[in-house]
Amino acid sequence: MRPTVIRQSHGAALSPAAGGATPFAWEQVGRELGITPGGTVNIAQLTVDRHAASARGDQPAFRSVNADGGRRSLTYRELARLTDRFGNALKSLGVGKGDCVFVLCGRRCELYVAVLGALKVGAVVSPLFPAFGPEPIRNRMTQANGKVLVTTASAYRRKVAPIRAELPALQHVVLVDDLGAGAMPETHDWEALLQAAAEAPALVATSADDPALLHFTSGTTGMPKGALHVHGAILTHYATARLALDLRPDDVFWCTADPGWVTGMSYGIVAPLAVGVTSIVDEAEFDAVRWLSILESEGVNVWYTAPTAIRMLMKAGPPLFAGRRFPALRFVASVGEPLNAQAVWWGVDTLGLPIHDTWWQTETGGIMVANAVTDDIKPGSMGRPLPGIVARVVRQRAGETREVIETPDTVGELALEAGWPSMFRAYLGQPERYGKCFAGKLYLSGDLVRRDADGYYWFVGRRDDVIKSAGHLIGPFEVESVLMEHPAVAEAGVIGKPDALAGEAIKAFLTLRRDVAPSEALRMELLAHARRRLGAAVAPKEIAFAECLPHTRSGKIMRRLLKARELGLPEGDSSTLE
C-alpha cells in the first residue's frame, strides 16, 4: 500500500515573490521583473529585451530539436534582434496596438519570433493549432478580425487561400517557408520582410491592462470560447514558474504543449522566458521513445507535461525505460486533466520523481492551484492555491448568489477571488457569458472540487460532466481513477446516460493496455473491481471496450462526444477533436 502523502524536502531558495518568508505581494513580483510604477509592461520586453541586455544575452532562449535529431538554438540576444525586425516589419504593414495577429505554424523558430515580435508592437496575438482545418481557422479569425496571419506556404495553400475571401479583415499573410519573395500571390515572404525591416527597437509602450493574447478554450465541453488576456498576466506567469514549476534561471525546461493552446503559450513561451531559462522545443509530434530520449539527452531539469502523455508512456510499459537515466531531471509537473494517484507514483517509479499536478484554465491564464515546490504531495489531489490566489468552494443559492462552503470534504464549485494578474478580461464577443462567470468578487470556474481539512483540493469533475445517479452526485474522475487502477486499463471515460430508475446510469468506456485483449471475463472482472472499490451506487453498470477514446487536440477526453454517440445525438462542435 502506498502512503497518502509524499513528503517533499525541497530546499529551493525562494525569493519573497516566490513565497519565501515575507508575505506574498504582486507588487514585489513586479519589482523582481523590473517593472516600474506607471512604466511600460510588455511581455516581449520583459521576456526578451530584458535578458538580451543582461549577462544572460548569449544564453539560448530556445533550443529546438527536429524529427531527425537536428538542433537549432536562438539566444536571448538573437531573439531580441529578430523580434525587433519582425515588429518593425509589422509596423511597416500598418499593424499597431490592438490589431490581431494570428499564427498558424508548427513549433519552429519563426513562430516564437512572430509571437514575441507582435507582442512587442502591442498587437494581440492569437495562436491557432497547426492541425486546424479551414473551418476552425475561419471561425476564430472572423471572431477576432484577424488582420495578419503568419503561416506556412502549405497551410496557406490548403487551408486559408480557399477561404480568404471570407476573411475581409485579413490584410496581410506572411509565409515563413523559404520560398523566395513573391512565390505566392497576395502574400509576404518572411525572409524578405525581415531583411527590409529596421533593426531599431520596435517596442511600443503598453500597460499592464492592454490586451496581449487571445486564447480559444479547448472545446472539451462545447464551442471553444475566445479568452482575452493582458500584458500584466506576465506577473502570474513569472511567479507561478517559480512557485509551481520550481524554474530557476539556469534551468533547461521542457513544456510539451503546443503554443496553439494556452499552456504552450503561457508556459512554453512567456513563463520560461520571464525567468530566463533555456526552453526545449520539440518540432515533432509525440513519440514515446523520442520523448524519453529528449528528456535524457537534452538534460531537461524541469518538465511540464499532460496526463494524456503520461498515460501514453504508462501504456507503453516498463521496457521503454530500461537502461534510461534522468540525472538532470529535478521537477515534473502536469496540467490539463486530473492526474490520478497511479500516475504520480508512476513518476516516482520510472523517473525517480513524483509528478506535481497543477490546475488552471484558459480563463485563469496561469496556474492557480498546485502541488507546489515547497508542499508535500497528496497523490490524486491537485494541490493547494498558490500564494496570491484565494480559492473557495461554493454552492449555488437562490438566484445567482453563491454560498461559501467551509466544511471540509464537501463538494462544490471551485471559485477564485477575482483580480489575479492573468485573469481573462473578456470572452470575445460574449459579454453576457463573461458576466455569468462571476458572482460578486468570485470567478466561478465551472469545475467541482472538494477541499480536505489540510486545504488540499480534489477534483471531482466538470459541472457539465457530473452524473446524478440514484440521488448521488458522481464525478466521472473518481470512477475513472478506480477503473485505471486495474492493470488491464489504459484509459477510461465515464458518462451518465438516462435511466428510468436511477435518473442516470453510469457507463464506462475503456481502452486496454497493450497485450491485453478484451473479453467478457475481463468485463465482469472490471465491473466487480469497480463495485468493490466504489460501492454499487457509484460503480458503472455498463462497460464498453474501445480502440481509442475521443480526445481534444490538447489531449483531453471528450466525454460530451462519448455521450452524444451513445445517445445518438448530434456531436456539436468538433473543431478541436483530435
Residues that bind ligand ATP (CB under 6 A): 217-222, 224, 335-338, 357-359, 361-362, 382, 445, 447, 459, 462, 556
Chosen from ligand ATP, Mg ion, none, partner binding at 130 (C-beta under 5 to 8 Å by type): none
Chosen from Mg ion, ligand ATP, none, partner binding at 335 (C-beta under 5 to 8 Å by type): ligand ATP
Q: How far apart are CA 293 and CA 299, in angstroms?
A: 10
Residue nearer to ligand ATP on the CB measure, 127 or 224 = 224
Chosen from Mg ion, ligand ATP, none, partner binding at 224 (C-beta under 5 to 8 Å by type): ligand ATP
Chosen from ligand ATP, Mg ion, none, partner binding at 342 (C-beta under 5 to 8 Å by type): none
Residue nearer to ligand ATP on the CB measure, 335 or 495 = 335
Residue nearer to ligand ATP on the CB measure, 45 or 334 = 334
Residue nearer to ligand ATP on the CB measure, 49 or 480 = 480
Q: Determine contact, residues 100/126, Cβ cutoff 8 Å.
A: yes
Minimum gap (Å) between residue 218 Cβ and Mg ion: 7
Minimum gap (Å) between residue 127 Cβ and ligand ATP: 13
Chosen from ligand ATP, Mg ion, none, partner binding at 244 (C-beta under 5 to 8 Å by type): none
Q: How far apart are CA 131 and CA 305, in angstroms?
A: 19
- Outline where 246-393 has alpha helix (H): 262-265, 271-275, 288-297, 307-316, 341-350
Residue nearer to ligand ATP on the CB measure, 45 or 221 = 221
Chosen from ligand ATP, Mg ion, none, partner binding at 480 (C-beta under 5 to 8 Å by type): none
Residue nearer to Mg ion on the CB measure, 362 or 511 = 362
Residue nearer to Mg ion on the CB measure, 364 or 481 = 364
Residue nearer to ligand ATP on the CB measure, 42 or 361 = 361
Q: How many residues does the chain have?
A: 578
How far separated are the first and last CA of the chain, in Å rounded?
37
Reading the block at residue 491, the C-alpha cell is 484509459
**Residue closest to Mg ion, measured at CB:** 217
Q: Which of residues 172-231 bind Mg ion (CB under 5 A)?
A: 217
Residue nearer to ligand ATP on the CB measure, 525 or 573 = 573
Q: How far apart are CA 91 and CA 84, in angstroms?
A: 10
Chosen from Mg ion, ligand ATP, none, partner binding at 338 (C-beta under 5 to 8 Å by type): ligand ATP
Chosen from Mg ion, ligand ATP, none, partner binding at 462 (C-beta under 5 to 8 Å by type): ligand ATP
Q: How far apart are CA 200 and CA 301, in angstroms?
A: 35
Minimum gap (Å) between residue 308 Cβ and ligand ATP: 11
Minimum gap (Å) between residue 562 Cβ and ligand ATP: 14
Question: Kind of pairing, strands 384-385 and 211-216?
Answer: unpaired
Minimum gap (Å) between residue 186 Cβ and ligand ATP: 33
Minimum gap (Å) between residue 219 Cβ and Mg ion: 9
Q: Determine contact, residues 177/152, Cβ cutoff 8 Å.
A: yes
Q: How many CB atoms lie within 10 A of CB 207?
A: 14
Q: In the Cβ-directed half-sphere of 163, how many Cα atoms lie within 13 Å?
A: 17
Chosen from ligand ATP, Mg ion, none, partner binding at 556 (C-beta under 5 to 8 Å by type): ligand ATP
Residue nearer to ligand ATP on the CB measure, 224 or 354 = 224
Q: Determine contact, residues 103/127, Cβ cutoff 8 Å.
A: yes
Minimum gap (Å) between residue 339 Cβ and ligand ATP: 6
Minimum gap (Å) between residue 447 Cβ and ligand ATP: 5
Residue nearer to Mg ion on the CB measure, 46 or 370 = 370
Q: How far apart are CA 363 and CA 358, in angstroms?
A: 15
Q: Determine contact, residues 477/538, Cβ cutoff 8 Å.
A: no
Chosen from Mg ion, ligand ATP, none, partner binding at 336 (C-beta under 5 to 8 Å by type): ligand ATP
Q: Determine contact, residues 237/271, Cβ cutoff 8 Å.
A: yes
- How buried is 144 (Cβ within 10 angstroms: 0-12 exposed, 13-18 middle, 19+ buried)? buried
Q: Which helix (H) or strand (E) holds 532?
A: helix 520-534
Q: How many CB atoms lie within 10 A of CB 547?
A: 7
Using alpha carbons, list the distances in angstroms from residue 451 to 339, 393, 407, 544: 16, 7, 8, 32
* Beta bridge pairs of residue 391: 416
* Beta bridge pairs of residue 544: 509
Chosen from ligand ATP, Mg ion, none, partner binding at 359 (C-beta under 5 to 8 Å by type): ligand ATP
Minimum gap (Å) between residue 378 Cβ and ligand ATP: 13
Minimum gap (Å) between residue 317 Cβ and ligand ATP: 25
Q: Binding residues for Mg ion, how many (CB under 5 A)?
A: 1
Handedness of CA 321, 322, 327, 328 (dihedral sign): negative
Of 378, 568, 538, the closest CA to residue 461 belongs to 538
Q: Which residues of this protein are in contact with Mg ion, per CB under 5 A?
A: 217
